Amino acid sequence: MRPGPGGCCCRRPVRANGCVANGEVRNGYVRSSAAVAAAAAAAGQIHHVTQNGGLYKRPFNEAFEETPMLVAVLTYVGYGVLTLFGYLRDFLRHWRIEKCHHATEREEQKDFVSLYQDFENFYTRNLYMRIRDNWNRPICSVPGAKVDIMERQSHDYNWSFKYTGNIIKGVINMGSYNYLGFARNTGSCQEAAAKVLEEYGVGVCSTRQEIGNLDKHEELEKLVARFLGVEAAMTYGMGFATNSMNIPALVGKGCLILSDELNHASLVLGARLSGATIRIFKHNNMQSLEKLLKDAIVYGQPRTRRPWKKILILVEGIYSMEGSIVRLPEVIALKKKYKAYLYLDEAHSIGALGPTGRGVVEYFGLDPEDVDVMMGTFTKSFGASGGYIGGKKELIDYLRTHSHSAVYATSLSPPVVEQIITSMKCIMGQDGTSLGKECVQQLAENTRYFRRRLKEMGFIIYGNEDSPVVPLMLYMPAKIGAFGREMLKRNIGVVVVGFPATPIIESRARFCLSAAHTKEILDTALKEIDEVGDLLQLKYSRHRLVPLLDRPFDETTYEESED
């Protein structure tokens, strides 16, 4: 239900029930642009043809299968029952019939206005608490393809956990954002980071503008600019803060922000802090975006009717809960037509998309110059932490002088910088090996394979076929906990998310693929997912893919997918 501690990585305003973008019929099983004809032949389910099909140089297949009616009804019933029991138990707690586990206010401060509204935590208390063991599982190893998880037990229905001291070894990690497999404790990256750590120490103890601008930072920024193919770049100590502390430097009062409805919390926070007017367009829906752009320019600011100073479009490369890829060619065409500016958050797509890992811009074969602000993080593909912004020299100069981060926040830790430098050079092939390139290819292959197999099994899988973020729909609240626990029993660590990170009925499990996953690991995971899928009856899809004949397939899978 509740994603991890409150959050997965995505803010979810309520949106039309599973609505598919682009204004086509809601039940668009396959959305395709360039490969319309091919996809049509394959699925026979096409409900729209994108007008800008010519913009795409590659097939753009995204699936958001409609929630089956029965499942939707049952899900609502499930929440209804949970809510009823929640009220009942709150009643019992109130009269001290049931023991109260949660922490309470100090005696001295009982007459203060209560810190939390009573109903505020209803959800946490009565729904999240039941399945809290699925989140915050502590690990004690590298977050690589396999992790060691610390075993924990709860004797008070998840209100508190006790560590048994046992370690669950070799759990297959389908949860970490380790796309390119750079989360490692051996190899060139670790060695380089260790060297810098010994030389520099870990901290910086100052801000970039004061005296925390190390030669390493300058080196990193030049490299990032080269990697992205932009004039200049600037790096920051935290990915979240890169968004929330730089958007306010770019836009302000009298400016308009057009933001995708599924944008990450950091983008939303940044937009809010900027003081600009914010309008939301439907997820990845270009008609919706164009209408907002057109209206904004024609009608200007509300009430005063003055023209907007500037319009900034905020989109993400890969949406972390949906697995969808931004329709960048169309966004860029619109942005050019209406003279808006584009802010692209590549937190999940940098390194993970494109033939050489340069992100969604390269994936679509576009020019990085067309994106005004290229933002991304080092947390995921580079196995480090922090974020960057790339763009024209004027932009970066301005940010160097006006970014909140540069003035008030401590700069990146030197060993972390070194990890980024080494991993980035590896992706670029500057370390003299083709390791980086192989990783990028491996990830793309893993993605296609894993997604295809899941679809064949009959699960409802959201998102783009090239997106390494793979959401598998669970829908019902009880299945969230059940799936997470069953998978851990089978030694597979998965991420499950529900409301409020997703719309209330669209709870899901999310797999993040990695180049570090071998074929064996993926096959083991797939086998277990298949088993659990049958156990929990998760195979909701009515558009089952037929396995390709030229590909060897697992017989059991095939048989089961026939039912």
Partner 1 sequence: MDTWRPPVQGICLPRSASGPARTGLSPSLTAQARGGGDQRAAAPAQAPPPRARDVTVPRHARVDVPVAFRKEAQRLTMANAAEQWVLVEMVQALYEAPAYHLILEGILILWIIRLLFSKTYKLQERSDLTLKEKEELIEEWQPEPLVPPVSKDHPALNYNIVSGPPSHNIVVNGKECINFASFNFLGLLDNPRVKAAALASLKKYGVGTCGPRGFYGTFDVHLDLEDRLAKFMKTEEAIIYSYGFATIASAIPAYSKRGDIVFVDRAACFAIQKGLQASRSDIKIFKHNDMADLERLLKEQEIEDQKNPRKARVTRRFIVVEGIYMNTGTICPLPELVKLKYKYKARIFLEESLSFGVLGEHGRGVTEHYGINIDDIDLISANMENALASVGGFCCGRSFVIDHQRLSGQGYCFSASLPPLLAAAAIEALNIMEENPGIFAVLKEKCRKIHKALQGISGLRVMGESFSPAFHLHLEESTGSREKDVKLLQEIVNQCMNRSIALTQARYLDKEEKCLPPPSIRVVVTVEQTEDELERAAATIKEVAQAVLL
CA distance 291 to 188: 50
- Which residue in 1, 147, 286, 488 binds partner 1 (CB under 8 A)? 147
Segment 396 to 455, residues that bind partner 1, using CB under 8 A: 397-402, 404-410, 413-416, 419
Ranges of beta strands (E only) in 57-161 are 62-63, 146-153
- Asked if 477 touches partner 1 (CB under 8 A), the answer is no
Contacts of 202 (CB under 8 A, 6+ apart): 413, 414, 415
- Which residue in 1, 3, 280, 443 binds partner 1 (CB under 8 A)? 3
- Which residue in 170, 203, 365, 429 binds partner 1 (CB under 8 A)? 203
What is the identity of the amino acid at 477? P
CA distance 386 to 240: 8
Nearest to 116 by CA among 99, 126, 104: 104
- Asked if 27 touches partner 1 (CB under 8 A), the answer is no
Place of tokens 């004949």: 549
- Asked if 550 touches partner 1 (CB under 8 A), the answer is no
Element (H, E) at 512: strand 507-512
* Contact string (CB under 8 A) for partner 1, positions 151-180, x = contact: ----------------------x-xxxx--
- Which residue in 43, 72, 82, 273 binds partner 1 (CB under 8 A)? 273
Query: What's the N-to-C CA distance of the chain in angstroms?
Result: 29
Contacts of 146 (CB under 8 A, 6+ apart): 170, 171, 172, 173, 521
- Asked if 13 touches partner 1 (CB under 8 A), the answer is no
- Which residue in 29, 64, 240, 483 binds partner 1 (CB under 8 A)? 240
Catalytic residues: 320, 348, 380
Nearest distance from C-beta of residue 266 to partner 1, angstroms: 6
Buried-state track 450-485, b at ≥16 Cβ within 10 A, e below 16: bbbbbbbbbbbbbbbbbbbbbbbbbbbbbbbbbbbe
Contact range with partner 1 by CB under 8 A, out of 59-67, 71-79, 144-152, 349-357: 144-152
Q: Are 390 and 404 in contact (CB under 8 A)?
A: no
- Which residue in 137, 327, 451, 479 binds partner 1 (CB under 8 A)? 137
Applying CB under 8 A, the site for partner 1 has a residue count of 127
Contact range with partner 1 by CB under 8 A, out of 64-72, 76-84, 198-206, 466-474: 198-206
Q: Are 154 and 161 in contact (CB under 8 A)?
A: yes
Contact range with partner 1 by CB under 8 A, out of 37-45, 235-243, 323-331, 530-538: 235-243
- Asked if 215 touches partner 1 (CB under 8 A), the answer is yes
Segment 285 to 324, residues that bind partner 1, using CB under 8 A: 294, 297-298, 307-312
- Asked if 355 touches partner 1 (CB under 8 A), the answer is no
- Asked if 140 touches partner 1 (CB under 8 A), the answer is yes
Contact range with partner 1 by CB under 8 A, out of 73-81, 393-401, 478-486, 530-538: 393-401
- Asked if 101 touches partner 1 (CB under 8 A), the answer is no
The burial of 353, by beta-carbon neighbours within 10 Å (0-12 exposed, 13-18 middle, 19 or more buried), is given as buried
- Asked if 364 touches partner 1 (CB under 8 A), the answer is no
Nearest to 380 by CA among 427, 342, 450, 414: 427
